[in-house]
Amino acid sequence: MRHPYRHASSSRALFAAVAATAVLVACSSSAKPSSSASSHAPLKIGISLSLTGDFSDPGKSAERGYRLWADTVNAKGGILGRKVQLSIVDDTSSPTQVVGNYQNLITKDHVDLTFGPFSSLLTIPASQVAKRYGYAFLEPAGGGPKVFAQHLHNLFFVQPAPVVKQGDVFADYILSLPAARRPKTAAYPALDDPFASPIADEVRTRLEAAGIKTVYQQIYPAEITDLTPVVSAMAAKKPDLVVGGTQADDAYRMVKAMVQLKWAPKLLYLSNGANDPHNFPGNVGASNVDGIFSSGDWFPSSNTYGNAGFLSAYTRKYGGTAGTIDSTSAEAYSCGQLLEEVAAKTGKVDNATLISALHTGSWQTLEGNLSWNADGAANSSYVLVQWISGKMLPVYPAGRAQHAPVIAALPWGG
Amino acid sequence: MHEAVQAVILGVLTGGVYALMASGQTLIFGVMKVVNLAQGALVILAAFLSHSLFTAWGVDPFLSVLIIAPLMFALGAAVQWLLLRPLHQDDAALLSLLVTFAVALGIEGALTVVYHTDYRTTRPAYVDRSWRIAGYQVGEVRLAAFALSLITLGGLWMLLSRTRFGRSVRATVQNPVAARLLGVETARVAALGFGLGAATAAAAGAVYGMVYSFNPNSHYDLISRLLSVVILGGLGSLGGTVVAALVMGVASSLVGALASPVWSDFSFFVVLLAVLLLRPQGLFGARLRGAL
Amino acid sequence: MRRRLGRYRRYGPGLAGLAGLAALVVFPLAVSAPWLVTVGLFTLMYAALASAWNLVGGYAGYPSLGHAAFFGMGAYAEAIWWTHRTAGSGYGPFWTLPPIGLAVAAVAVPVAWIAMRTRTDVFAIVTITFLFVVQTLAFNLRGLTGGAQGVAMPVAPFTPATFERPFYYAMLALLLLALAMSYGVLHSRLGLALTAVRGDEDKARSVGVPVGAAKLTAFALSVVVTAMAGGVWAYYLSFIYPQFAIDPLLSIGMVLMVFLGGRGTLWGPVLGAFVVAPAQQYLAYRFGASQLYLLAYAALFVVVMLVMPRGALPTLRDRIRRAEARA
């Protein structure tokens, strides 16, 4: 669920190139012969990920998810008798490189299928290349409005719903409260990012329609290191509710600024960053998290299709505990689940079959049961979570909740 | 009005941290005419070191400065001695820009290998504390950071104006050839100056790690602001740098609170360009090599 | 023997250059693999950008770090003009490039007039500050640029097998334009004036060299090519974001290639681009997964600066000349 992004820098590819030249001189590269796609040849899947550069950590989480799925499916004998072979290449977080990479994968390495890249900002150029060559494009990371505005028939966003809808579950919860307990006023600070500010806009539209007054609304840039001025301006308007369209580190900054100013709204929702089980308490302090709402697509405790197997396989392969698994890994794994299901149902795994099959019916993944509209947006919903006694728990909708939402003063409030 | 005053308070405190970060860069420019693009990376490096000392051994971040500063001094002196000193004299200004950028990338690369790109914050027990003074909230760490800035800047000033080393530095700044004739070993002075500039990054980094969240990429956010502060202050002028840092801190805090944070940096950059147009030597610079 | 060598020195590089250009023209027809043509396309883009940068940074000695801003302006102008139009046959967006190049140059002249009040390192800082200003505008003028959401262009309707060709030839044309400009500047009074500026600007001014006009002309010429390259890039990607269109690392890339190949030479920037750009595309694809990347790069960069501070071509030329003198 993370879509990190930096303002000033995006690719270090150029510089890396000089270094890479040295590598080339040092090791003579052996070109792999590309195998023809016979029925027992391995099923080659091409993926470009950001393994160096700004998006590299989530890129690695995605890689772990893809590789875990490949191991799992190969242990079962592969797909339709074909072993899955992943070609994972690095796009150094650069759009120029990602286009070249998918072209390489499709026209040079002749992969059978492609999965989407990380990060979200690279999804659009990459999906155009897949479209050009008629490849299905299952992508776990790009769910902004412009991705779907491309109207690509071959694209499938493997998360419960477009990113815009991520805050809907919080709006649903607020509107489910009896009128007397609803907040009267709200503030909407949001990061200037295609995957953050639309969330706050959507919640604002719905809450305004229900009569909750907007008293503060602000966009802040990604490179802002200090949100204290924003929070102090917001505090002066005394909103009952703050809905932050946050991404990652800006969520930490917002909470830190509130703590510094000793100001807390009655309710605080942060779209992303606050749903990071490890880094959020690490950056804002474990004693400052209780009561904060967030939402997301996948959590270790989800009761979705195959989740128990995913958790045990993941911890067996990579160690650690279920609580440290990044949702990005689950998103990537889900792409593979879809492939398996389509193959099992239709007996085929070619791109045309994938595209037509996924556009009909509903398919099970770690992300829930998904079905897609013509533009590749899924029609499910996110889960509302809240930090309760130092743990992040699903609290809404009731069907997926493990605890009732708690309305209490935030820990640092006066 | 309350908002504006609160914003000014925050701006002054932030400006203090920036003054500390930029003072090293100003010193390095003053002594060697090197625009050090690695200053931001040095600050982030120090922030990571301080974070590690705190999480591994519980060393207080303010105390960790005493451990980190000598390391940073050695690193800075080494960079000057090994990488900048051998550069061709005619092109030294431009080449050093590129070399220090390479140093910044190298530091970023090393930090990425060791620490990955997750965000961190150094969180000693007192990090969330703040005082309420006449209705305004003042963070304890920020206030301490501001004090540390003043102490460090004061120390730098004393060093430059009261010691033999300081006199050699000033002589080198004013006229390298004459200084050499008078027996000042300018290459050694330059290495010491660079080391000293890097050492100030230790203090800045320890503070930065507590006030902000950071990862190895964070130096990109710093460097354009630091450069602007140094230029606005009139490259090489310590006093000018402090004033410029405060101007920047207050201006971006005010714009952020009263208008919109998306224009904070922009407004500062525009002021900077305007100053350069009207007064190419910066606000306080007596001389600015390279300007008309 | 001696005379023949002399004639070779006179015409040889030109002939070799022509042969190289002929090879570049034939390349996408001979090589059918789209991925290779893509590598060629980006290589030509960087070669054109480096050659254009060389006009200001190499000949005049004004190291602009702000050229990525003009690249981005070209990209945005192209994308904004076409975002609500249809590309038709697909060639339309190429014809809007020349006016865009000129328009961006018109914006660049007053910027350069202000920035060129400073020199060398300060000039570099002023221009990179300008870059950040432009990037901030691209983020904040949402009505015009779409802000952080980015802006989409129509996707070119070319057939997949030869999709890259038109973009490739557009970039090749830009490289030729940049080379023609460089050649023209080198062999004209403008070139003399720029050399004088690079040597000692104040002295040049005092003896009546039209310093200001020379600098601004070089800057404007350089920006025309840079902006048009941005336009082709935007059309090829068909979707642009502020942080990728106006990327400081693009500026640094131009500088790096020019320094690697040789500043103030006709072929140096091209050489630098032809080494760095394809290596980057191919090797990030093959070996990218190593985190040590940045470290190795930084080390090599420093070595290049220390060993060949003037770039490959001038260093080699000196070696040859010295060897001949000894012979």
Q: Using CB atoms within 10 A of its CB, is residue C320 exposed (0-12), middle (13-18) or buried (19+)?
A: exposed
CA-nearest of C174, C212, C162, C287 to C62 is C212
- Beta carbons of C35 and A100 less than 8 Å apart: yes
**Band of the pLDDT at B280, cuts 50, 70, 90?**
low
SS3 content of chain A, % helix, strand, coil (to 5): 40, 20, 40
B136 touches chain A (CB under 8 A): no
Partner chains of A (3+ C-beta pairs under 8 Å)? B, C
C-alpha A96/C-alpha A119 separation (Å) is 13
Within 8 A by CB and 6+ apart from C163, the residues are A132, C34, C156
Contact C262, C268 (CB under 8 A): yes
**What was the pLDDT predicted at B284?**
61
In a domain, C59, yes or no: yes
In a domain, C195, yes or no: yes
- Partner residue facing C121 (CB), from B93, B228, B269: B93
**Band of the pLDDT at C15, cuts 50, 70, 90?**
confident
Q: Which two tokens stand for residue A361?
A: 């019916």
- Does pTM surpass 0.90? no
Partner chains of C (3+ C-beta pairs under 8 Å)? A, B
Mean pLDDT of the region C307-326: 77
**What was the pLDDT predicted at B1?**
74
Mean pLDDT of the region C256-261: 85
Question: Across B222-226, C213-217, C312-316, which has the greatest mean pLDDT?
Answer: C213-217
CA C136 remoteness from chain centre: 23
Return the number of other C-beta atoms located less than 10 Å from residue C307's C-beta. Answer: 9
Residue C194's identity, in one-letter code, is: L
Distance of residue A318 Cα from the nearest chain B Cα, in angstroms: 17
**What was the pLDDT predicted at C283?**
64
> Closest-CA residue in chain C for A96?
C237
Give the model confidence (pLDDT) of C143-190 as tens digits: 888 888 889 899 888 988 889 999 999 999 999 999 999 999 888 888
**Band of the pLDDT at C1, cuts 50, 70, 90?**
very low
Mean pLDDT of the region C283-287: 63
**What was the pLDDT predicted at A95?**
85
Within 8 A by CB and 6+ apart from A39, the residues are A81, A82
pLDDT higher at A85 or C302: A85
Phi, then psi, of C190 in degrees rounded to 5: -60, -45
Q: Which domain holds residue C119?
A: 34-322
**What was the pLDDT predicted at A28?**
32
Phi, then psi, of B16 in degrees rounded to 5: -60, -45
Question: Residues A270, A328: one domain?
Answer: no
C-alpha C211/C-alpha C202 separation (Å) is 9
Best of B26, B29, B98, B281 to substitute, by most chain C Cβ atoms within 10 angstroms, is: B98
> Closest-CA residue in chain B for A56?
B117
Contact A11, A97 (CB under 8 A): yes
**What was the pLDDT predicted at C11?**
65
Average pLDDT in chain B: 83
**What was the pLDDT predicted at A209?**
94
Q: What is the DSSP string of A52-115?
A: SSTTHHHHHHHHHHHHHHHHHHHHTT-BTTBPEEEEEEE-TT-HHHHHHHHHIIIIIS--SEEE
**What was the pLDDT predicted at B286?**
46
CA-nearest of C318, C312, C226, C317 to C271 is C312
B224 touches chain A (CB under 8 A): yes
- Sign, CA dihedral A201-A207-A211-A216, equals negative
**Band of the pLDDT at B90, cuts 50, 70, 90?**
low
Mean pLDDT of the region C298-316: 73
CA-nearest of A269, A277, A229, A278 to A251 is A269
Size of interface A-C (CB pairs under 8 A): 179
pLDDT for residue C256 is more than 50: yes
**What was the pLDDT predicted at A31?**
35
**What was the pLDDT predicted at C285?**
67
In a domain, C5, yes or no: no
Give the model confidence (pLDDT) of B136-180 as tens digits: 888 888 888 889 888 888 888 888 888 888 888 777 777 777 777
Question: Residues A259, A344: one domain?
Answer: no
Q: Alpha carbon of C256 to those of B112, C54, C245: distances in Å?
A: 23, 11, 19
**What was the pLDDT predicted at C233?**
95
Q: Which two tokens stand for residue A185?
A: 């006023």
For chain B, the domains span 20-238
C-alpha B116/C-alpha B103 separation (Å) is 18
Contact list, B258 vs chain A (CB under 8 Å): 233
Distance of residue B100 Cα from the nearest chain C Cα, in angstroms: 9
Of all residues in chain C, the percent with pLDDT exceeding 90 is: 32
- Beta carbons of B291 and C125 less than 8 Å apart: no
Which single residue is written with the structure tokens 């703050």? A242
What residues 53-112 of chain A have any CB closer than 8 A to a CB of chain C?
56, 88-92, 94-97, 99-101, 103-104, 107-108
Q: Which domain holds residue A264?
A: 165-296+382-400
- Beta carbons of B257 and A219 less than 8 Å apart: no
Domains contained in chain C, number: 1
What residues 139-158 of chain B have any CB closer than 8 A to a CB of chain A?
139, 142
- Beta carbons of B262 and A220 less than 8 Å apart: yes
In a domain, A26, yes or no: no
**What was the pLDDT predicted at A10?**
35
Domains contained in chain A, number: 2
Question: Residues A219, A286: one domain?
Answer: yes
Question: Across A34-38, B90-94, C251-255, which has the greatest mean pLDDT?
Answer: C251-255
User: Per the omega criterion (within 30 degrees of 0), is the bond before A119 cis?
Assistant: yes
Question: Across A2-11, A362-371, B184-193, B271-280, which has the greatest mean pLDDT?
Answer: A362-371
A225 touches chain B (CB under 8 A): yes
Contact C239, C153 (CB under 8 A): yes
Contact list, C35 vs chain A (CB under 8 Å): 100, 103-104, 107-108
- The H or E element that residue A362 is part of is none
- Beta carbons of B273 and C130 less than 8 Å apart: yes
Q: What is the pLDDT along chain A (414 residues), one digit of tens a residue?
A: 443 333 333 334 444 444 444 443 333 333 333 344 446 789 999 999 877 666 666 778 889 999 999 999 999 999 998 999 999 888 877 888 888 889 989 988 899 999 998 777 889 999 999 999 999 999 988 888 888 988 999 999 999 888 888 999 999 999 999 988 899 999 999 998 888 889 999 999 999 999 999 999 999 988 788 888 899 889 989 999 999 999 888 999 999 999 988 899 999 999 988 988 888 998 999 999 999 999 988 888 888 899 999 999 999 998 888 877 888 899 999 999 999 999 999 998 999 999 999 999 899 999 988 999 999 999 888 999 999 998 888 998 888 888 999 988 899 876
In a domain, A8, yes or no: no
User: Is beta strand A293-296 parallel, antiparallel or unpaired with respect to A383-388?
Assistant: antiparallel
3-state secondary structure of C77: helix
CA-nearest of A108, A36, A33, A39 to A349 is A39
Domain CATH for A277 = 3.40.50.2300
Question: Residues A240, A363: one domain?
Answer: no
Question: Residues A172, A292: one domain?
Answer: yes
Give the model confidence (pLDDT) of C57-105 as tens digits: 888 888 898 999 999 999 999 999 998 888 778 898 999 999 999 999 9
ipTM above threshold 0.85: no
Contact list, C279 vs chain A (CB under 8 Å): 17-18, 20-21, 24
User: Is beta strand B136-139 parallel, antiparallel or unpaired with respect to B130-133?
Assistant: antiparallel
In a domain, C11, yes or no: no
Question: Residues A266, A220: one domain?
Answer: yes
CA-nearest of A153, A137, A64 to A98 is A137
C-alpha A47/C-alpha A140 separation (Å) is 11
Best of C149, C252, C258, C302 to substitute, by most chain A Cβ atoms within 10 angstroms, is: C149
C-alpha B83/C-alpha B24 separation (Å) is 18
Question: Residues A327, A276: one domain?
Answer: no
